[in-house]
Amino acid sequence: MKFLVTAGPTREPLDPVRFISNRSSGKMGYAIARAALARRHEVILVSGPVCLSAPKRAETLRVVTADEMFDAVQSRIAEADALVMAAAVSDFKPASFAVSKIKKRSGFARIELAPARDILSSLVFPKKKPLVVGFAAETESLAENALGKLREKRCDLIVGNDVSRADAGFESDDNEVLLCFRGGETRLLRREKKTLLAKKLVKIFERMKENL
């Protein structure tokens, strides 16, 4: 199989020195990429700004903004057997970009936000659609929100995780996820190292692709 995996945060620039982003470290997406490579799959990794080394043997595409991540995914989606959207894409971006550094006296209260690109909703899929796996980072009502995203985003599977926890999720080496399948069933994968969790996820993705 060929995996197309997104990882890390995106950054939406406000001025030449500031941006809107989130706490994603990219560890989950990178672990999935490495787990897929270990099982002799091909991997295209689309990575936002992270402090991680690129997996050997993966083709790594570096991006910054949600628009750049969309362009990278759209340009390679036709090659993919499985699309794994593990990146934490910014929901908002500044409505306008200031070409010079905004000074304190200018008043940050006047900064307006606009929706950032919704990558999954914007993608144009080829006739031979890949397995589509989305991620839902939530701080409350995990099952409800993950199932809602499953319906909205045309996914085969949503991997939901509670990012408000101190012992898992963003910036942690551990994670605990709720799998929400298109058929309506759910499955909880208890907290463990992201590297071990990624191995389980890749095997699940393989089985799902076989049954498509």
Catalytic residue ranges: 22
Torsion, CA 196, CA 198, CA 204, CA 207, rounded to 10 = -110
Cβ atoms of residues 5 and 86 within 8 Å: yes
- Calpha distance 153→171 (Å, rounded): 25
- The full DSSP string for 86-133 is -SB--SEEESS--SSPPPGGG-GGG--EEEPP-HHHH----SSPPEEE
Return the SS3 of 85.
Answer: strand
The Cα–Cα gap between 138 and 3 comes to 25
Cα angle 57, 84, 3 (rounded to 5 degrees) comes to 35
